[in-house]
Amino acid sequence: MAPSAIEGRARRLRQEIERHNYFYYALDRPEISDAEYDRLFNELKELEEKHPQLRTPDSPTQRVGAKPLKEFIQVRHPLPLFSLANARNEDELRSWHSRVSKILADRGIDFAETALVTEPKIDGLAVSLVYEQGRLSRGATRGNGEVGEDVTMNLRTIRAIPLVVRLRPGERAPAVVEVRGEVYLPLAAFEKLNQERAAAGKPAFANPRNAAAGSVRQLDPRIAAGRPLNIWCYQIGYTEGLELSSHWQALEWMKKHGFRVNPYVERHKSFDEAVAACRAWEQRRPEFDYDIDGAVVKVNDYGMQDVLGVVGRDPRWAVAFKFAPSTAITMLLKIGINVGRTGALNPYAIMEPVEVGGVTVSQATLHNEDDIHRKDIRAGDWVVVERAGDVIPQVVGPVIQKRSGKEKSFRMPEKCPSCRSRTVRPEGEVVVRCPNKSCPSQIVESIKHFVSKGAMDIDGVGEKLVERLFRLGLIENMADLYYLDRDGLVGLELSSSVNSKGKLVPHRLQEKSVSKMMEALEKSKQRPFHRVLFALGIRHVGSINAQLLATHFGSMEALGVAVREDIASVEGIGPVIAEAVRDFFAEPHNQETIRRLRQAGLRLSQKPGERQERPLAGKSFVLTGKLASLTRAEAREKIEALGGKVSGAVGKSTDYVVAGASPGSKAKRAQELEKKIIGEKEFLRLLGE
């Protein structure tokens, strides 16, 4: 190739690759496969290796490669980066709005007619990116707002940050444009990073924000390059040769020119509409794969922004509507142990009550023994508790700095706290178990599972009642529920409380509740066979597996005598499940329970070809983003097994949009069409898992 042709090829490759970076990282809508991308990238790399003079600073191959620094250089921002005043609740947001309206009204501007823009407030690290003649010339941290640190080398490693402004043919870049945004570490990457750090004996980052800040402020850019940082751009600061008249215009300009702008930004005609949008994000916070600590409400028009001005460090034209924090710090009083229905000993934290994500929590899961040791959680520690949406509260980790030395390390009990049997931890498993099949805790938990919504769905027999009936010796297993004596139940003392006069008043089971309970039990006898099979709580037999087994074997009898190979050969069922099924039927007391359930009149068979209950029949799903517990293919399989359909695009007939981490444009479209968007938890619940 002639030198000019080689040069041309390198230039085209650079443009191509940056274009695909833009589609992949900024728009989340790749146009080519990863393999094709790698091919282009490698071709450019080879060309540049052969002809080093072709290696331009803005080549995509040059994102990483700078030498470690000794220290960061301080830089003055061309315009200060302000912070935001907070509104802690809707009232404060309303008073902000009234204040703004009044100031504008005094100047003869009717604010009622003015647009507001709302955006998710990203909990990361603010940065400023200066582009001169279209090229990224400097990236800096916010610092104190006036002076920050030059972290260009690290920011260049973030592929969502364009090295050159994307221009249309014939378009010229503005002489200077300063784009501002929030750098963050996606939640999944944060968790992975902390796991790696724990494995390497390094202290964990307390939250994704610290992890992002720590990564951007690395002197060695190779470390930053190894962390999948990302950015949402939310403002244009200093410009030369670019005239904009509103914030919305700035957002549009950034989107058009290759910057990653959050797809959830919205423009509103009324204040109430803006408030509703903020509220909606708060609800859907668990769906985002990044932390948002609130919503930002901004006056759109630059002219009005100027009139409103800045007080201290906070512009009056914007406000941060803070969400209830999803993490809090509290004292871990004790580590308790729950014995689950499969005998697993589940440690949990008993804590000083604390408000997290808008509710008071005093208990949180601690997963398992290894996890407690990995995070080094001790009784008496101050701990960070996290709660996102409907998710069970979690203990993130201890606040090491607050240790007094009196904290107690955790040891899994050697005896089951419920039945005192010696516990076992099978090799290769993280769970410690109570091996006693007649352990009271396991039995109570299995009865609770039996009556639960996804299983026999026995309304009127709640968890508390199950516990009480068991303690009183009125039931010893799930079958006993169907032999309860109505008269013996009426007037049964459930609990008691102290009244205002200091007297103990018992709460008794009323006639009406007993009737309701009896009706519900009667009704449950009509549940199809596969529901009964699931309700038995056989290990590894969830609702889907129960359906597969029910369809294949047709009856409890046939399944009960089937050999392991036959069970394992059912499509979707493997040897582990088959083994668990065999183990279950091998227990005489399980056989006895089944006999009594049959006697009570439950359905333990289904006619061949009997239409399976297909709870998702006629429902259309669209999947977007990454699910933590399933691949796309698995999710599709499960939806289809339950009678639902999966389609590739959101349309009029879509019933549910399942949004995993980093949902793409489909989620946005779903929002426009006002379709039901559900997160992973709710999706799993829908599948009955």
Nearest to 642, CA basis, from 629, 656, 628: 656
Position 119 contacts ligand IVH (CB under 6 A):
yes
Position 318 contacts ligand IVH (CB under 6 A):
yes
457: left (phi over 0), alpha (psi -120 to 50) or beta: left
Minimum Å gap between C-beta 235 and ligand IVH is 5
- Which of 296, 385, 556, 635 is in the footprint of ligand IVH by CB under 6 A? 296
Q: Given the rule CB under 6 A, which of 77-85, 94-102, 567-575, 609-617 is the region that contacts ligand IVH?
A: 77-85
Minimum Å gap between C-beta 214 and ligand IVH is 16
Minimum Å gap between C-beta 144 and ligand IVH is 11
Restricting to residues 132-191, name those near ligand IVH by CB under 6 A: 142, 182
Q: Does residue 82 sit in helix, strand or coil?
A: coil
Minimum Å gap between C-beta 22 and ligand IVH is 21
Restricting to residues 498-537, name those near ligand IVH by CB under 6 A: none
Other CB atoms within 10 Å distance of the CB of residue 288: 23
Position 122 contacts ligand IVH (CB under 6 A):
yes
Q: Which is nearer to ligand IVH, 127 or 478 (CB)?
A: 127
H helix or E strand, kind and range, residue 461: none
Position 100 contacts ligand IVH (CB under 6 A):
no
What is the DSSP secondary-structure string of 301-362? BHHHHHHH-EETTEETTEEEEEPPPSEEEEEEEEEEEEE-TT-BEEEEEEEEEEEETTEEEE
Minimum Å gap between C-beta 443 and ligand IVH is 51
Position 121 contacts ligand IVH (CB under 6 A):
yes
- In the chain, count H helices and then E strands: 24, 24
Contacts of 589 (CB under 8 A, 6+ apart): 437, 438, 477
Token pair of 549 as six digits: 């087994």
Q: Is 121 a residue of the active site? A: yes
Question: End-to-end CA distance of the chain, in Å?
Answer: 60
- Which of 37, 184, 234, 290 is in the footprint of ligand IVH by CB under 6 A? 234
Rounded Cα distance between 585 and 562, Å, is 10
- Side chain identity at 351, as an amino acid letter? M
Q: Which is nearer to ligand IVH, 148 or 343 (CB)?
A: 148
Token pair of 219 as six digits: 């002197």
Q: Which is nearer to ligand IVH, 246 or 330 (CB)?
A: 246
- Which of 75, 93, 126, 345 is in the footprint of ligand IVH by CB under 6 A? 126
Rounded Cα distance between 227 and 186, Å, is 10
- Catalytically annotated residue among 50, 102, 121, 512: 121
Restricting to residues 460-499, name those near ligand IVH by CB under 6 A: none
Position 578 contacts ligand IVH (CB under 6 A):
no
- State the residue number with the nearest CB to ligand IVH: 126
Q: Given the rule CB under 6 A, which of 115-123, 461-469, 612-620, 657-665 is the region that contacts ligand IVH?
A: 115-123
- Side chain identity at 284, as an amino acid letter? R
Position 84 contacts ligand IVH (CB under 6 A):
yes
Position 315 contacts ligand IVH (CB under 6 A):
yes
Position 235 contacts ligand IVH (CB under 6 A):
yes
Q: Which is nearer to ligand IVH, 77 or 121 (CB)?
A: 121
Rounded Cα distance between 273 and 266, Å, is 10
Q: At what angle do helices 90-106 and 271-283 cross, to 10 degrees?
A: 150
Q: Where are the alpha helices (DSSP H) in 437-528?
A: 440-451, 463-471, 486-489, 511-524
Position 320 contacts ligand IVH (CB under 6 A):
yes
Give the active site residues: 121
Sites of contact with ligand IVH (CB under 6 A): 82-84, 119, 121-122, 126, 142, 182, 234-235, 296, 315, 318, 320
